[in-house]
Every structure is written in C-alpha cells, then in structure tokens.
C-alpha cells in the first residue's frame, strides 16, 4: 500500500472512530437493567448514560431525564465524562491537522517533510483520542461489573453493559488503528534519502584536485 493510500485509509478509519466515539458519548445506553438470575422482569427497562437516564416501558414509550447535578454524580461518571470530552476534542483537532498533513491535499506541497510531520502529529492526536475513549469506556464497564457482582447490590438493582460501551470500544480501536497508519508517514526515510544523495555527490574540491 502506497503512502498516500495508507494515509487516506488511516484518516477514514480514525474519522469513523471519532464519529462512533461521539455517538457513544451521546447515547444513554452505557448500562441497562439486568434480568439475570432471580431478578424480577418488570414492564420498565432502565438505561443510564453519561448525561441522562431513561426508562423504556413495554408500550414503547421512552422517558429520559438529564442528570440533575454534576457534583452529585458518582466519580466514575464524572471521570468518564471528562475523558470523553477530552477524547472528542483531541479527535477534532486530529481531523484538522491530518487534513493539512496528508499527501492527497494541496496544502504545504512545497515542503513534503514538514507536511509528513504534520500528518504524524495528526496521527498522534488520533491515538490519544482512542486511548481516552478506551479509558472512559473501560472505567465505566469496570464499575458496572463491580456493582453487578457486589453482594450489597439488590438483585433488581443490578445493571449490565449497554450498547454504548461496545460502540465505545469499537471507536477506540478504529481511532488507534487510523492514528497508527497516519504515524507511518514519518519522514525519517526521506531524510535518510537526502543524506545519501548529498554524500554520493562529488565535492567541488575533489574535482579541482
């Protein structure tokens, strides 16, 4: 795969991962009611996310309510919120920086080495975006798992993984993969080629000797 095609594939993968991370952050299905074991199946299913909690009735009606207070939220929710916001900001800047540094764009064509470095910087931003998304989703999933197996949690108050967690894991994988492909634009080979070309040229002093 050529350098330009590799950059384009990495950019598209990272862009898809960022969009998926945005969707995961907005979805309220980070955890959902569990009906495992002796739990009583009710007509109302509960879903909770980073920003709101929803109740879905058997008739198909869904009622959602935003979390009342930021300071009253659990620590893992606040931390996951902060990580997802940082992740989305890093991904947004990565989108802009990568467009400037990609070989298929016209910006900065007169300096290909600097252009490649900009593409690498965009790839690093995408990798950091994916790592923040992975940390946020994994932290939330760890807390859900702990509460599920905790003996102090009532059976009917247990939650399982929601669909947003799996979307977040997929988003993290895509952004890290895309950022890694963009980082392959490192201009080290180009610098080595220029050094080899300069060394292979005869000096003017040797010609006069």
**Do residues 21 and 87 lie in contact, with contact meaning Cβ atoms separated by under 8 Å?**
yes
Residue 114 has pLDDT above 60, yes or no: yes
Q: Where is pLDDT greater, at 1 or 34?
A: 34
Helices 3-26, 163-183: crossing angle, 10 deg rounding: 160
Residue 125 has pLDDT above 90, yes or no: yes
CA distances from 135 to 82, 148, 160 (A): 11, 20, 18
- The SS3 assignment for 193 reads helix
| Spatial separation of the C-alpha atoms in residues 162 and 53, rounded to whole Å | 12
List the end-to-end C-alpha distance of the chain, in Å, as a whole number: 47
Q: Where is pLDDT greater, at 161 or 38?
A: 161
CA neighbours closer than 13 Å in the CB half-sphere of residue 105: 17
**Do residues 91 and 137 lie in contact, with contact meaning Cβ atoms separated by under 8 Å?**
no
**Predicted confidence band of residue 37 (pLDDT cuts 50, 70, 90):** low
Residue 138 has pLDDT above 50, yes or no: yes
The CATH code of the domain at 2-27+71-187 is 1.20.140.150
Task: Please list the residues that pair with 53 across neighbouring strands.
Answer: 48, 65
Structural tokens at position 154: 């009532």
CA distances from 2 to 5, 7, 97, 98, 185 (A): 5, 9, 21, 17, 10
| Spatial separation of the C-alpha atoms in residues 134 and 173, rounded to whole Å | 8
Average pLDDT, the chain: 82
Q: Mean pLDDT throughout 47-60?
A: 84
């Amino acid at each position: 795969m050529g350098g330009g095609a590799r950059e384009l594939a990495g950019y598209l993968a990272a862009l898809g991962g960022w969009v998926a991370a945005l969707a995961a952050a907005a979805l309220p299905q980070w955890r959902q009611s569990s009906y495992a074991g002796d739990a009583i199946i009710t007509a109302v299913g509960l879903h909770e996310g980073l920003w709101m909690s929803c109740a879905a009735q058997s008739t198909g009606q869904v009622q959602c309510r935003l979390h009342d207070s930021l300071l009253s939220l659990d620590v893992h929710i606040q931390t996951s919120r902060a990580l997802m916001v940082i992740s989305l900001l890093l991904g947004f800047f990565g989108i802009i920086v990568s467009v400037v540094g990609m070989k298929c764009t016209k910006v900065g064509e007169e300096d290909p080495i600097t252009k490649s470095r900009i593409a690498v910087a965009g790839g690093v931003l995408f990798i950091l975006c994916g790592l923040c998304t992975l940390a946020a989703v994994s932290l939330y999933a760890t807390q859900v798992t702990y509460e599920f197996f905790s003996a102090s949690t009532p059976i009917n108050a247990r939650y399982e993984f929601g669909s947003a967690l799996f979307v977040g894991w997929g988003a993290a994988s895509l952004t890290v993969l895309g950022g890694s492909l963009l980082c392959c634009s490192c201009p080290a080979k180009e610098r080595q080629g220029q050094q080899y070309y300069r060394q292979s040229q005869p000096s003017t002093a040797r010609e006069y000797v």
